A and B are shown apart, each in its own frame.
Chain A
């Protein structure tokens, strides 16, 4: 169990959820439409992935208004930031792994 792949977070490991988490990790908060456009997915796909991240306690969803327009804001929770940092540390360790054959 010493290989860094064991430190990868199963929730964040999905490419789309990883992209959402990476974007939110750099942000205080981001509007739903901004995340959708930047990650390049549909509204429904983002809603589904955000629900998974929210269920894991990694993302907080806040609803409000700007003028009369409804807005949904997404942000990473403290647990989400920690999980993302640990996941990235594992990715860096894997990327830095020497090219010697792995022992399973």
Chain B
């Protein structure tokens, strides 16, 4: 083989390995989908179920989901480049939105579906929106 062909073959090999890493890293899409759905459900439970019962049920569900997701993530063999920064950003935005929806909803709109339904959707948005580009890779 010529030097040019060797170089082209090496670059093709690198592209193939990059595609394989991206394919294997798609576990994060599933992680984010579950995270987003759980964020939606728990936010709705906190807002719509009255008193400590709602908080207890929501927190129990949330702890179970996060525990399961943590085990799932720890068992993965690879994460794509930029994963930590991306995950940190998504969790940061989720935490900020959750804090606002919870603080305003608990004081101004307790039990009001008109607040908590869009609020829960907003809280779920960072994870669900983050899953989309992961699916396209």
Contact = CB atoms under 8 A, between A and B. Distances in A.
Interface of A: 5, 15, 18-19, 22-23, 25-31, 33-34, 38-39, 66, 88, 91-92, 94-95, 97, 99
B11 A88 contact: yes
Given A26-B18, A27-B21, A31-B77, A94 B82 contact: no
Contact of A5 (B3, B20, B79, B80): B3
Given A27-B79, A94-B3, A66 B74 contact: yes
B14 A88 contact: yes
Interface in B6-21: 7-8, 10-11, 13-14, 17-18, 20-21
A30 B20 CA distance: 12
Contacts of A18: 10, 13-14
A23 B17 contact: yes
A94 B6 CA distance: 9
Contacts, number: 71
Contact of B17 (A19, A29, A66): A19
Contacts of B80: 26-28
A38 B13 contact: no
A26 B21 contact: yes
Interface of B: 3-4, 7-8, 10-11, 13-14, 17-18, 20-22, 24-25, 74-75, 77-84
A95 B7 contact: yes
Nearest to B19: A26
A34 B78 contact: yes
A92 B11 contact: yes
Contacts of B84: 28
B22 A26 contact: yes
A8 to B, nearest CB: 9
A44 B22 CA distance: 26
A93 to B, nearest CB: 8
A75 to B, nearest CB: 9
A82 B82 CA distance: 16
A19 B18 CA distance: 10
Contacts of A97: 3-4
Given A33-B77, A34-B78, A91 B20 contact: no
